[in-house]
Each structure stands twice: as structure tokens, then as C-alpha cells.
Structure 1
Amino acid sequence: MAILGFAVIRGNGVELKTKGGAKLNPGGYSRTSHGGGGKVWGNSKKFEAPALDFKLAADEDVDIIELNNMEEVTITFEGDNGLTYMITGAALENPAELDEDSGDISGRWIGRVCKKI
């Protein structure tokens, strides 16, 4: 099996003009240790939703307003190493941002469930 080199991101089956640097968090629990007096008394956990940070090429056919209006999207993260993950019920956490200097549109998809497919 190959090591991940790049990923293709799709929204509802349509390939997005993905630039490098995407980060997939499949969700799960973040944990915090609680202690005092040089001892850990226990841990608490908090559920974190699945998320995908992305950068898209700000091409003439990539409409940031249309992107911001997408809700209940199925996002797929297809690695060149053969692994594919799907986030369902996704929407942007905050409006995507257009960076004039880099030519990027960046944002973060959050969803309900992430599955390996």
C-alpha cells in the first residue's frame, strides 16, 4: 500500500478543485486529564464532530457563495493510497474565505458521521 500523497475531495459526488493541505479529522473523543498534587485523578472526554479542513483553487467556476449555501452534503476524501472516507450531513462550520494573495478558498466542513468506505 502507498503512503498518502494527495487527496481528491468531492461534495455530493462533484470533484472540488482541491489544493494541497487538506486535513481530515474523523471525529471521536478528545480527553482531558484532571489532577492535582502531582497526581492524575481521572480523565473527562468530550465528543468532537468529524471535520475536513480544505483549500480550493479560486477558479472562475468556483462560486464561494454557492459553496457557503451547501447543507446536508456528503463529502468524500479519496486518498491516492486507496483509502476513502465519507462525512455525511456536512455543512461549512463558518463561511468559506477567499484569499486574494494565495488564490485559495478555505474552510472547514463539519458533519454528523465519518466512515471508511
Structure 2
Amino acid sequence: MAKITGKAIIRVDGTELRTADKGAATLDLGGEKREPKTGAGKVWGFSEETMPPELTCKVYHTADTSLKKLGAITSATISFECDSGPRFVLREAFSLDTPKLDAKDGTVEMKFSAVSCDEA
């Protein structure tokens, strides 16, 4: 029976982020998004648009968590290691948004993009 991915370990330049539990991280590999082109009641083909990879996650906030450093991440290597085995590497990754601290649950919402995402 196959193991289903339920959690992931996320590392930025080798340092593991203190990510929140299940469902707190998503990875979009990016690539080509296709849009059908139609006319006269027919599909004539498609056009493509390159979409960047994106990673969203929630990181626990502690006394040694620097929101400024998280928001300043550029040119990083981010690994996304699934508990079911697959591993993905985002190259030249950078934070997209300013970190958002939720004082209610003690997490920081982060969003990253990268030049590429490869299955390792």
C-alpha cells in the first residue's frame, strides 16, 4: 500500500524551518500553464504561459525567529522533503511577501518563489 504525503520538512540553505503541522505547507512546482484557444465552436489549439514555482508555509514564531531575516531571504536553496519520500529543490528562492505573524496561534505565514523547482 502506498504512503500518502501528510507532512513535509522545509529547509532554507540547510536550516530546517519550524513548520506548523499538517496542511500548513503547499508546493506549486510551476511550469507551463495552458489556455485553450477556441473559435467557430472548435478548439484550435492552446497558448502557454510560464508560471513560477511557489511554496507557502506556516512557521512557528519563537524568541529566536527573526521576521526581518525571513522576509529578506533571496537567492536561497529551499528543500521540500515529503514524509512519503519525494524531495523537491527550489533554486534561487526568494520570499514574496512580508512575513505575517499571527499572535493567536504563534505562526508566521511565509510565501516563496524561485527560479526553478526540481524533483530530486
Q: Taking structure 2 as the reference length, what is the TM-score of the superposition?
A: 0.89
Seq. identity, %: 32
| Residue 12 (str. 1) matches residue 13 (str. 2) | yes
Paired residue for 1:31, among 34, 46, 55? 34
Paired residue for 1:107, among 84, 107, 110? 110
Amino acid of the residue matched to residue 89 of structure 1?
Answer: E
Displacement of 1:42: 2.2
Give the Cα separation in 1 of the matches to 2:36 and 2:100.
35
**Counterpart for residue 65 of structure 2:** 62
Q: Secondary structure at the match of 2:63?
A: coil
Q: Taking structure 1 as the reference length, what is the TM-score of the superposition?
A: 0.91
Give the Cα separation in 1 of the matches to 2:78 and 2:58.
14
Give the Cα separation in 2 of the matches to 1:88 and 1:15.
16
Amino acid of the residue matched to residue 98 of structure 2?
Answer: P
* Deviation string, structure 1 residues 45-89 (Cα, Å, up to 9, x no partner): 100111111111122221111111121110000111111111010
